[in-house]
Amino acid sequence: MRALVSTSELADSLNNSQPPVLLDVRWVLGGPPGRESYVAGHLPGAVFLDLDADLAAPHDKQTGKGGRHPLPKPEDLQEVLRAAGVREDSAVVVYDGGNGSVAARAWWLLRWAGHSDVAVLDGGYAAWEQEGRPVTTEIPQPERGDIVVRPGAMPTVDADGAADLAQSGVLLDARAPERYRGETEPIDPRPGHIPGAVNAPFAGHINQEGRWLPAAELADRFRSLGVHQGSEVGAYCGSGVTASSVVLALEVAGVTDPEHPAVLYPGSWSEWSSDPQRPAETS
């Protein structure tokens, strides 16, 4: 399965004898809770997963280690996915409210867990609903899956590795420009960015309708940021969520491929800025 699927492709696949498992991961920073949106209406058969509770480990607020959305323990993620009906042979499609930035986190986690047959719905719930496709308030009771989580299939780096990558390759910062420049920091301990990182706001991956840009346009965008095929490249953001969409966009663009994906710094700026010994660059 390609990393992105269209609404029409998903609609067709849902009529197959073995339709994909649908995961609804709608979430908005600061709320309202995604579950409220899910209960109000979702794609038929979709199972809701909560970013904070299901797709991340608890946040260590005292030390900041791991960032605001640390990677979940493999056994915890396995239980969540099995309860959602994900099997070893399942195709999986994940969607969020629209721009794919949160769905990309679920996509990345499944890939990290060793499950390659997973894609993000282009345009998310907004596109599906705008096209008048069926939605429901019925909560499914999926048959328990048998997926085995084998962590490590997607590369990661810690803070030291991120610092090294910013100097030896290209480290992309997926946050909004004003946060990258250090003009504002509404969430994390300090403003600024990792020295040497290049700003690549995740909002630049989509058009005004919330659909992902064509592969050629994404490739042009990354070339303008100094990223080419074969580049040593990684991504971070505030807490490792929207950076996953940069990893996805690099693959959609053909800059990277499933065998050689971009690196993710899961702790991201929330972890980095919690350590006073780590330098912060502003510009």
| Closest by CA position to 179, among listed 222, 102, 115, 238 | 238
For the chain, which residues make up each domain, given as ranges? 4-130, 159-272
Q: Which CATH class is domain 159-272?
A: alpha beta
pTM, whole model, 2 decimals? 0.96
| Closest by CA position to 22, among listed 111, 109, 140 | 140
What pLDDT sits at residue 135? 98
Alpha carbons 58 and 217: distance in angstroms, whole number: 37
| Closest by CA position to 243, among listed 190, 282, 183, 193 | 193
b/e per residue 249-260 (b: at least 16 CB within 10 A): bbbbbebbeeee
Cβ–Cβ under 8 Å, residues 3 and 76: no
What pLDDT sits at residue 170? 98
What pLDDT sits at residue 30? 79
Alpha carbons 40 and 60: distance in angstroms, whole number: 32
What pLDDT sits at residue 96? 97
Q: Where does residue 5 rank: exposed (0-12), middle (13-18), buried (19+ CB within 10 A)?
A: buried
Alpha carbons 2 and 10: distance in angstroms, whole number: 12
Q: What are the C-alpha distances in Å from 142 to residues 11, 87, 145?
A: 19, 11, 8
What pLDDT sits at residue 169? 97
| 4-130 to CATH, choices 3.10.580.10, 3.40.250.10, 3.40.50.300, 3.40.50.720 | 3.40.250.10
Sign of the torsion angle spanned by Cα atoms 170, 173, 177, 178:
negative
> Do 4-130 and 159-272 have matching folds?
yes
Q: Tens of pLDDT along the chain (283 residues)?
A: 789 999 999 999 999 989 999 999 999 887 788 999 999 999 999 999 999 999 999 999 888 999 999 999 999 999 999 999 999 999 999 999 999 999 999 999 999 999 999 999 999 999 999 999 999 999 999 999 999 999 999 999 999 999 999 999 999 999 999 999 999 999 999 999 999 999 999 999 999 888 999 999 999 999 999 999 999 999 999 999 999 999 999 999 999 999 999 999 999 999 999 999 999 999 8
Q: What are the C-alpha distances in Å from 59 to residues 65, 91, 189?
A: 8, 30, 14
Q: What is the DSSP string of 137-158?
A: -PPP-PPP------TTSS-B--
Q: Which residues are annotated as catalytic?
A: 237
Neighbours of 155 (CB within 10 A): 14
